[in-house]
Structure 1
Amino acid sequence: MTDLKSGESIEFNGISILLKDNTPAKHKFALVDLAQGEHIYMYGSIVGKAVYPILKGAVLTTANVAHEANSFGKKTGTYEWTPPTHNPFSNRTFNGFHRKDGQVGTANYWIVVPLVFCENRNVEVIKQAFTEELGFGKPNPYKSLVQQMAELFKSGKQEAISELAVEEVALQKNNKLFKNIDGIKFLTHQGGCGGIRQDSEMLCALLAGYINNPNVAGATVLSLGCQNAQPAILQEKLDKINPHQEKPIILLEQQKEGTELHLLSQAIKMTFMAMAKANEQERAPAPLSKLTVGLECGGSDGFSGISANPAVGHASDLIVALGGKTILSEFPELCGVEQELMNRCVNDEIAEKFGSLMRDYSASAVAAGSGFDMNPSPGNIKDGLITDAMKSSGASKKGGTSPVVDVLDYAEYATKPGLNLLCTPGNDVESTTAMAGSGANIMLFTTGLGTPTGNPVAPVIKISSNTKLAVRMPDIIDIDTGGVISGEKTITEMGEEIVEHIIQVASGEIKAKAQLLDQDDFIPWKRGVSL
């Protein structure tokens, strides 16, 4: 928990350990002498091997430890799960938007989507036309700062610029024209043409998932006409997810409409009228079984695996016990815990699908000259996560202890109540983007370093692993699990606090910090190598 000095004596489980090195907070030292090549264990799993002999009490670093992980084969045994014996949320509800297909949204958004990057500029024009006029904008303190700097520069008083202060402004939205719509979101991207055809097909599957997401009331889709990502492919993917899709979808093709003026005028008028209709929907009580909760981590530190992640894992177990769905993604960060997760799968077929996806993903990374071992970021390493297996052993705790009911490839939609595994990169935004496309209507995002990430349609609740981060970056952190580290709270108490917060955000009673900051990150994954 604090920096330790070389020469200090540490007592642990009746063993006295003399520290051989300075050991920064969140880092690890050896409890026993380790021979060259010997495995290093944490959380009961292999998380590395000694590059050269490591003495008892020596700090573990990237210089003396190399990535090593448990191997995996086929599912073994029958997994028995006992749901939490005490579930204080058994009769609780949230106020959501009920869709005709039975899904319930935690928010009510209209989305504007280009099928190809050629339409990004037109989407931006629609954004400029709508955002302020519909009351979804907010004051920009930096615009005032630039105006003041320009005035000082013109008057020859540049030296005074450094003294200017930026006033904090309320992050609340202006008065909205449509009271029951949380926003209009614009999902620009760089795909839809070029590359390989599979990328465009996968993009259409992802966009179909966003349109089908219960938080989305309807969509405006702009097509150029000649791109790989054709409207027919989007429709095919929509039919696959939900053959009885009844949401309003406005589809306009520029090469058929003619001038940009005509295209944009049509898009804006039709979107406005559709939003006015969507505004008639109101929140109504729904059981917690209608929640689909994405489980994400980013900017993790050495505390993530013992505070924020297991607390989220308990929240996941509580939601699953109530009949809800949870989604654990980031396959490169499940390296080393594959066998444990396979053994938790409800049948051999699902377990084999997970194993196959993991093997293929790992092989593609190696073929590109990389590997899962290169997943930890400089920030992870600086704060104690020095191998991918070490990072994975903590990251997997977000999935709690419940059985794995399904394994989803990228852009497949979650339909089974329980814990689902979703194939995505470890990249924060590519992963959160995918979870919303698979139906997540709210997300939990743990961080030890601080990550300003959100999603256009699914509220992202940011959870810090330590109190120092929560104090330093209060504008992005919703929940602080540092009390687990200090011993003030238990994992169970924090998990229940997280579910309570989920209910408030899902009911629209409070906004997640990512929503207040308009953190609308959207990055589709091209099926190349991304860790």
Structure 2
Amino acid sequence: MNKAITINSSDNLAVALTNLAKGEIICVNDTNITLQEDIKAKHKFSINDLAVGDEMFMYGLVVGTASKAINSGEAITVNNTEHKATEYNPNKTNEFHWTAPNVERFKDKTFMGYHRADGQVGTANNWLVLPLVFCENRNVLTLKKAFEKVLGKKKTNPYENLVQDMAAGYQSGVSFEGLSLAKAEDLDQKQVFDQINIKFITHEGGCGGTREDSDSLCRLLAGYLKNPNVAGATVLSLGCQNAQISILQEAIKSLDPNLDKPVLIFDQQTIGNETVMLEKAIKETFKGLVEANKIERKPAPLSKLTIGLECGGSDGFSGISANPALGRVADLITALGGKAILSEFPELCGVEQELMSRTGNPKHAEKFITIMRDYAQAAINAGSGFDMNPSPGNIKDGLITDAMKSAGASKKGGSSPINDVLDYTEYVKHDGLSLLCTPGNDVESTTGLVGSGANVVLFTTGLGTPTGNPVAPVLKVSSNTDLAKKMSDIIDINAGVVIDGTQTLDELGESMLEHIIKVASGEIECKADQLNQEDFIPWKRGVSL
């Protein structure tokens, strides 16, 4: 196993694949380098002497400059590095050719999905209960308590059972020191419906912010209603909020004037009595569940998959294992006629030129650069900037600059042509790869991906991020084997096999697609769903890195 590697032949930074000791001689690209200090796994060191102002390269891209003189074999840290990204020219496009991967193995494969009237196919069958404004959150939670108690939840709460057992022991004077969590699989409740899940969403928007935010929320909710994983919905409105029922209805009409799904809307101020409203909502929702439960899984081609590509809690291995593994899956899906969506525009800083060259359509390239420039300027106006994107966890595990983080994050998008560029809440239209403007915030971005039509989300992490989504399964892909072992309850797929040398990226990409097919067919439940991790945070169009 190599102890350190460069990713591109032009790179002058190497990545440590394991902990390296001061004085150790490491061979990188047929050159022996004596380490000047200990280098932790995932971190970078210079393979050349760098003077102040010299550019640092990874992935063949500029990822920073030396703020101090750096000797060959010295670690790259926040103390000797400044952010710098590869510049781009919007009037220039590099020559682009793509060789599609061999998909012979998958061309006749199908998944078992829920077919919708508009031709989309869901990997799940959900009925949503959601508010138009945060004032209705309590009523949504009231319905949740009522429905889940009677209909049954996928899993009961083992922590609740533990607290009950401890309370009983305390009251009876019996020691509770030996008690432990009951196994979740032993606590399954029998569910009334076998083909439909009811999901409850709350949020803090809809009023009190800008009209732009409430309009954006309505467009996002309309995208959730159109998502193929949704069979119908119950919407609660107070009545006086910015996010009016009419705005939601117009957003639905604009997105799909022929939306053939039941959307039940209850306005509290129109109905008057809260008890009456909730009674009506329960009765109509139950009828909707009965009808939605008649929909059954049927075979669908893999071209009906729409894969959302996301990362969170990234580390120094993410860009060489988990992210490029997702890129392989994205290329396979594209070659099969499906859709893939790459999000997080703050993490595309420095790769603009490559992405513009992959668009093919000048209008798409122009839209991408316009959104990127506006976002970058908004960050600057708020006293921040893309250079402040890496989190403390990112930096601790080897991602020193935003350009370094972005160069690796962009690998999730593979190498296929980019067929569309979408602003936040725009719904995916074209087969192949689309770029979607979302913030770098994990949950806000994942929420946006599902609102734009993703029926499965692949989420890479190097540090461990337990997020999920109420509508689409979110599969966690670890960048390293240690994380997969340590946090096995949240990790679905271990991309650390690439670092360990037991699988190539191409082999891992194909095995990941096989796993996705099983999840999409309901044969395997992703870890986030097992944990009832259902996060939903709409993006308010402010600065969110």
Same fold, judged at TM 0.5 (above): yes
Contact kept in structure 2, 1:171 and 1:516, CA below 8 Å: no
Residue matched to 2:192: 177
1:168 is aligned, of 170, 179, 183, to: 183
After TM superposition, the structure 1 stretch with the greater mean CA deviation from structure 2, 278-287 or 144-153, is: 144-153
| Structure 2 residue 446 is the aligned partner of structure 1 residue 432 | yes
1:112 is aligned, of 103, 106, 129, to: 129
1:227 is aligned, of 241, 249, 254, to: 241
Q: How does 1:246-285 map to 2 (within 5 A)?
A: 246-285=260-299
Question: Letter of the aligned partner of 1:81 in structure 2?
Answer: W
1:306 partner SS: coil
Residue matched to 1:510: 524
Residue matched to 1:29: 45
1:236 is aligned, of 204, 228, 250, to: 250
Residue matched to 1:199: 213
Residue matched to 1:96: 113
| Structure 2 residue 64 is the aligned partner of structure 1 residue 48 | yes
| Structure 2 residue 23 is the aligned partner of structure 1 residue 7 | yes
Alpha-carbon spacing, 1:398–1:172, altered in 2? closer, same or farther (3 Å): farther
Residue matched to 1:145: 162
Number of residue pairs aligned between Structure 1 and Structure 2:
528
2:259 partner SS: coil
Residue matched to 1:417: 431
Q: 1:494 offset after TM fit, Å? A: 0.3
2:185 partner SS: coil
Q: Distance in 2 between matches of 1:101 and 1:144?
A: 43
Question: Letter of the aligned partner of 1:57 in structure 2?
Answer: G
TM-score by length of 1: 0.97
Task: Structure 1 unaligned segments of length 5 or more: list them.
Answer: none
Q: Distance in 2 between matches of 1:311 and 1:77?
A: 24
Contact kept in structure 2, 1:17 and 1:56, CA below 8 Å: yes
Contact kept in structure 2, 1:210 and 1:436, CA below 8 Å: yes
Residue matched to 1:340: 354
Q: Distance in 2 between matches of 1:132 and 1:326?
A: 37
| Structure 2 residue 369 is the aligned partner of structure 1 residue 355 | yes
Question: Letter of the aligned partner of 1:122 in structure 2?
Answer: N
Q: Distance in 1 between matches of 2:391 and 2:533?
A: 22
Q: Distance in 2 between matches of 1:344 and 1:34?
A: 33
Residue matched to 1:79: 96
2:398 is aligned, of 372, 384, 387, to: 384
Contact kept in structure 2, 1:131 and 1:137, CA below 8 Å: no
Q: How does 1:391-406 map to 2 (within 5 A)?
A: 391-406=405-420
Q: Distance in 1 between matches of 2:188 and 2:80?
A: 52
Residue matched to 1:123: 140
Q: Distance in 2 between matches of 1:370 and 1:128?
A: 42
Q: Distance in 1 between matches of 2:277 and 2:286?
A: 14
Q: Distance in 1 between matches of 2:389 and 2:368?
A: 19
After TM superposition, the structure 1 stretch with the greater mean CA deviation from structure 2, 288-297 or 169-178, is: 169-178
Residue matched to 2:83: 67
Contact kept in structure 2, 1:316 and 1:399, CA below 8 Å: yes
Q: Distance in 2 between matches of 1:47 and 1:164?
A: 52
Q: 1:78 offset after TM fit, Å? A: 4.5
Contact kept in structure 1, 2:303 and 2:333, CA below 8 Å: yes
| Structure 2 residue 520 is the aligned partner of structure 1 residue 478 | no
**CA deviation digits over 1:268-317, x for unaligned, max 9?**
11000011001111111111111110001111111111111111101100
Question: Letter of the aligned partner of 2:317 in structure 1?
Answer: F
Q: Distance in 2 between matches of 1:188 and 1:239?
A: 23
Aligned-residue sequence identity (percent) comes to: 61
| Structure 2 residue 36 is the aligned partner of structure 1 residue 20 | yes
Q: Distance in 2 between matches of 1:441 and 1:178?
A: 21
**CA deviation digits over 1:185-225, x for unaligned, max 9?**
11110000111100000000000000000000001011111
Contact kept in structure 1, 2:473 and 2:526, CA below 8 Å: yes
Question: Letter of the aligned partner of 1:186 in structure 2?
Answer: F
Residue matched to 1:295: 309
Q: How does 1:424-503 map to 2 (within 5 A)?
A: 424-503=438-517
Q: Distance in 2 between matches of 1:344 and 1:516?
A: 38
**CA deviation digits over 1:479-507, x for unaligned, max 9?**
11111111111111000011101111111
1:261 partner SS: helix
Contact kept in structure 2, 1:329 and 1:431, CA below 8 Å: yes
2:136 partner SS: helix
Question: Letter of the aligned partner of 1:220 in structure 2?
Answer: T
Task: Structure 2 unaligned segments of length 5 or more: list them.
Answer: 1-16
Q: Distance in 2 between matches of 1:502 and 1:212?
A: 22
Q: Distance in 1 between matches of 2:331 and 2:31?
A: 35
Alpha-carbon spacing, 1:172–1:69, altered in 2? closer, same or farther (3 Å): farther
1:462 partner SS: strand
